[in-house]
Structures are given as structure tokens and as C-alpha cells.
Amino acid sequence: MRVRIDAKILAFLICSIWIFGCSQKPYRDVLKLDQKVITIDKGASRLGPCEPSICINPENPNEVFAGAVLNHAYRSLDGGKTWEKNKLKSSYGVYGDPVVKVTKGGRVLYCHLADPKNNPYRSKEFLDRIVVQSSSDHGRSWTDGAFPPCNHEKDQDKPWLYCSPNDSNLVLMAWTEFDKYGSSDKNDKSRILFSQSQDGGLSWSEGKVISTYEGDCLDGDRTTEGAPPVVGVDGTYYVVWAYDDSLYLNMSKDKGVTWLEAERAVAPQKGGWAYEIPGIGRANGMPVILCDHSQGPRNGYLYISWSDQSSGEDDTDVWMIASFDKGVTWTEKKRVNDDEKGHHQFFSWMDIDQSNGDLYWVFYDRRNHKDVSTDVFLARSVDGGKTFSNYIISDAPFIPQSNVFFGDYNDISVHHGMVRPIWTRLDETILSVQTSLIQF
């Protein structure tokens, strides 16, 4: 009799362990916020909006501006609750890779790729420059665009902008120049270029090559790509990018006139810049660099964040390093997502609240699912990246499809505790762009 009782107990315990230890608990150990998801735009086909960018106007936080592929421009006058939709036009063409920023003076900037002949991938003018259109009337109207002088025979791609939080006129830009995008010819190379504007984006300095190691033109791990710039508290310019399984940093202490003789590797990116995510046509771990300009205890700290598969091909993670000595040395990397191993977190972006130095991330997350179902998460650190809180912010998971172009990145903007992430969602074959109304 005792043996039978013990056997039943043992069977019960084994079953209980299996059920409670191996079953999926939705949103386990995940924080939730008092927030509201807003759909900014929704497409009607596979070519719907994606690859979004967003920015809060620091002079008037009720104004929030956003953009999405290919030429979508959005503005909100009530902090992101409701949105007006527009399509940007330019004689230089508007062909995706949108970056939306607002200067300290309130000028709205919309940076994008060029297609002057409206003949993508076929005309020689396609991708011949990086265009920045600007609006001085709160997004009602836009200039035709300005651009850094560069070699128009080559392909100019993947730009990013940075607006100084202290100087309304200073805007930095960095991007990748391809000898010929997509070429497998070993003689065709890629490199990082830099330009700056001293008049709020209305005109630009000539593009300057700031990378010494040239990559290939295949838009992959051995391509020099993903080059956000930033200004330090002492006026030093920094640019970070990915190349050949590492993140590289270059800096200029004389306002962009001269740079280091050679860029420095500051962190490994094991597995490379490009990686495979089930259900996503292509994915990458684009780096982001920020500087704390607040008057808080971490003033001057630099932060770099990215994602990679250093933990395994089934475990994409978001990482962060910090520098406390103006980019000379960097900490060991810390993982931003706080789940168990074996899940994908990808398409991360980071911003800093310049009122107090708090750090925020947005990224896709699959910790709660065994298939390709995907949630959107927000991460926050109030101690300079020592600890992180993770929050689920999407209303429901979605299931992406690899045959629908999903873009290459998301974005997030923060101002005095007001947080506005932006991301792409895919329901069957319908793309939409969403944000969330979050206040800390």
C-alpha cells in the first residue's frame, strides 16, 4: 500500500513539475504600465508603413513628429493621442530610411534616401545623396531638401541624425557610402561618411570619410554600416558603427575637422551585424550611441547599445556598454532584456531623458512564446545601466511573415518622463505603425 501511495505522489510531483515548470505562462515576471497603444497609420497591402522614426519637440512636448517608409510623415499636436498623415515630396525623391528629429529651436528635420528619377534600383541617380527636408512651421510645410556634398556616382545609404540638446543650430549626420550597393565585386567597398550642419539642417558640410577599414557592398556583416553620431558634453563628436563582428568608434575633438587616425573597436558583436530571426525577412543589430547632457550625477557618460546573437542563434539579446571618461575606456557589456536564455529580442533602439539621465529602450521580444509570436517591450534604467526594468507595451502579440518587408529598425523619443516609442506591427499581410502613451 505504501509503495502505491509513494508512486502516486511521485507521479503527481513529476506531472506537476512538468506542467508548472515547462508550460508557458503569458507575461510571466513582466511588468506592465499604465499606457495606451495608438495606431498612427495602417497600410492596405504588403507595402504598408514600416521602419518608423519618432521625435518629441523639446520646445513643445505636445508636438510629436514621426516618419515611416517610404515617404510617410506624421504629426501630433496632442502628445501622440491623434495623428495627421502626410506624404513627403522632394525633387530629389523620397525613398525610405526615415530619420525624424527636432532641433532645440523647434525646426523639424526629416532625413531620407534619394531617388531623383523615381526609378529605384535602375537609374544611376538612385541613392545619389542623403536628403534632409525641414519644416519651420510645425510640420505644416517642408523645404525641398538640403544634402551634404558627396560623390553622386556612389550610393549613399542608411543615415542617422543627431540634434544638439544645447545648440539649436548644430546637427550631425553619419551614413554609409557604397561604391555600388549590392555588388559582390571585391573592388567595390563601403565606408562611413560624416557631415554637420551649423544652421539647423538648412545646409551641410561636405561628406568626410571617417572610417579607415573599408567593408564590402553586400549590406551584411562585412559592410561598414549603422552609424549614429552624438556630441559629448565637452563638444567632442562621436560616431559608432558595425563592421566585421565588432563595433567601432571614431571621435573628433575639434568639431569634425580631424578624427582619430584609425577607428577603435569598443565592443565585439559576435555573430555580426546581420542575423537571422524566424519570420523576419532580414534583421540587424544596429548600434546606438548617446550622451548624458543632464545635470544629474551621470552627466557626460556615454552609452552604446546594440543587439546580437553572442548567446546563440536562438537567443538574440540587447546589450549596453558605458564610458565614464569620454570614450577612452568602456565597461563590460550588460544585457538589457531580463528574460531567461533562449529567446529573441531584436530591433532595439535607445534614448535618454536629458532631464535626469534615465535610459529607455524599445525592442521586439519573444520571451512569452514558443513560436514566432512577437511582443513589443520597453526597458528602463534609472542608474546608468546597472539595472533594468522590462515592461510589455504591446496590446497583443503579432505573427510576422518573412515575405513582407518589415523594415530595419524602430525608434524611441523621451522628454521629461514622457516616453514615445514607435514600432511596426504586422497582422497577416497588413503593416501598421504604432506608438504608446507612457509617462514616468
Q: Which three cell numbers stand for residue 329?
A: 575606456
Give domain status of residue 433, yes or no. yes
CA distances in angstroms from 336 to 264, 290, 340, 354, 363, listed in the order given: 24, 15, 12, 20, 10
Give domain status of residue 440, yes or no. yes
> Which structural domain range is residue 312 located in?
36-58+269-440
Give domain status of residue 86, yes or no. no
Give domain status of residue 19, yes or no. no
CA distances in angstroms from 437 to 307, 346, 382, listed in the order given: 25, 22, 19
DSSP H or E stretch at residue 22 = helix 2-22
- 135 SS3 class: strand
Amino acid at the residue 440: F
CB count in 10 Å sphere of residue 237: 24
Q: Please tell me the total count of domains within the chain.
A: 1
Give domain status of residue 318, yes or no. yes
CB count in 10 Å sphere of residue 129: 24
Q: Give me the tens of pLDDT residue by residue for the chain, a chain 440 residues long.
A: 333 334 433 343 333 333 333 334 444 567 889 899 999 999 987 788 999 999 999 999 999 999 999 999 999 999 999 999 999 999 999 999 999 999 999 999 999 999 999 999 999 999 999 999 999 999 999 999 999 999 999 999 999 999 999 999 999 999 999 999 999 999 999 999 999 999 999 999 999 999 999 999 999 999 999 999 999 999 999 999 999 999 999 999 999 999 999 999 999 999 999 999 999 999 999 999 999 999 999 999 999 999 999 999 999 999 999 999 999 999 999 999 999 999 999 999 999 999 999 999 999 999 999 999 999 999 999 999 999 999 999 999 999 999 999 999 999 999 999 999 999 999 989 999 999 999 99
What is the rounded distance in angstroms from the CA atom of residue 98 to the CA atom of residue 101?
A: 10
What is the rounded distance in angstroms from the CA atom of residue 226 to the CA atom of residue 78?
A: 32
Give domain status of residue 403, yes or no. yes
Give domain status of residue 244, yes or no. no
Give domain status of residue 307, yes or no. yes
